[in-house]
Amino acid sequence: MTNRRSFIRQMTMAGIASAIPSLTHSKPDFNQTSSLKKSSDQKLIWANLLHLSYNMWEDNVPLKYRDENYQCLTCQEAREWAHPYRPFLTFDDLTWNTLLQEMADVGMNMVVIDLGDAVQYESHPEIAVRNAWTKEKLGSELVKMRKLGLEPIPKLNFATTHDIWMGEYSRMVSTTKYYSVCRDLISEVIELFGTPRFFHIGMDEETAGHQSRQDYAVIRQNDLWWGDLYFYTDEIEKKGVRAWVWSDYAWNKPDLFFRKMPKSVLQSNWYYGTEFDLNKLKDPAKTYVKLYNDLEEHGYDQIPTGSNHSNDINMEATVDYGKKVIDQSRLYGFMTAPWRPTLAPCLDRHKEAIAQMGRAIKNY
């Protein structure tokens, strides 16, 4: 467990703590908060990560692909050229509705929605892209999901590799203005979702390698990365919501991760390969899979994440592996992440992901 008081003292000596005001907030103990801690009779989560916004990268690709014809591409082209920022909503309502119904039909019970710049936030309307959802539209969709038995969970990825959705604020990281904007967005989204159980904040792939194609790269390291993580999680937790992150920081810095990552933060390690036998795997894949075991050994709550991004067997294999190595008290469920925009050309790939999760549910 992170010693936050020691961290704050270090930051104060360095003259940094004043820029991270929320570090002084007390932290809820989720191990003693019955309304948020997993109960023995709580249903296992079967989640799908769907994208309302797909502005998560700033790769340097040809300008000719940054136009309105994007929605006419094939699914493969949509994946390949989905990276540059687009000032309009890359989303199809019919595809969305089809996926929600199919999720409900196979027994899935959660939708993690990557919101990004696809909502007209009252606190920061300047972030929204063209045709972004109004608060009223979002509200009606939340009602629809809940009627289908699907619990909606918000996601805003604050990792600097994936924060192009923040517009100009993505180039103000770790400044007073940045913290103010993030605080506003977190608070507003929690209110819009009616205080959800969880709030996914991403925090994956913040490395130089993952930004090698970007024209503008920002990488937080050491105590600055951890200080900002604490800022986000404190803003979320003081609202009675549990923060949720990708766990891949631990792939490269496991000792630091297990020393500083609070147990209150829900973990999603992810691995999209086909082999799960640690005796057969070589690094880096072995490290990716073994992290499920390591998180369990250190007592973290988990939602392992698989995908049909690379093959058609990973998701079911992820479920099989997770239920073997993670204690039921810490296994909150599973999530699939197709990594495709919610567009008609990608419908079949999305439906395949749901079908795979459906088989995993049936065989669990």
Is residue 122 a contact partner of residue 188, using CB atoms and an 8 Å limit?
yes
With a CB cutoff of 8 Å and minimum separation 6, the contacts of 186 are: 156, 199, 232, 235, 236, 239
Residue 270 pLDDT grade (very low, low, confident, very high; cuts 50, 70, 90): very high
The predicted structure's pLDDT at residue 155: 98
- Interatomic CA distance for residues 175 and 163, integer angstroms: 15
Average pLDDT over residues 14-41: 49
Which residue carries 């103990």 as its tokens?
29
* Strands across the sheet containing 333-336: 266-268, 242-246, 198-200, 151-155, 110-114, 45-51, 333-336, 305-306
| Arithmetic mean of pLDDT over the chain | 88
Tokens of 54: 């797909």
Q: Phi and psi dihedrals of 306, rounded to 5?
A: -120, -175
- Interatomic CA distance for residues 172 and 238, integer angstroms: 24
Bridge partner list, 335: 47, 305
- Its pTM stands at 0.88
Q: Where are the domains of the chain?
A: 44-363
Residue 80 pLDDT grade (very low, low, confident, very high; cuts 50, 70, 90): low
Which residue carries 């937080």 as its tokens?
220
Residue 78 pLDDT grade (very low, low, confident, very high; cuts 50, 70, 90): low
Residue 258 pLDDT grade (very low, low, confident, very high; cuts 50, 70, 90): very high
Residue 10 pLDDT greater than 60, yes or no: no
Domain 44-363, second-level architecture: Alpha-Beta Barrel (3.20)
Instruction: Kindly calculate the radius of gyration of the chain based on its CA atoms and give it in whole angstroms.
Output: 20
Omega within 30 of 0 (cis) for the link into 262: no
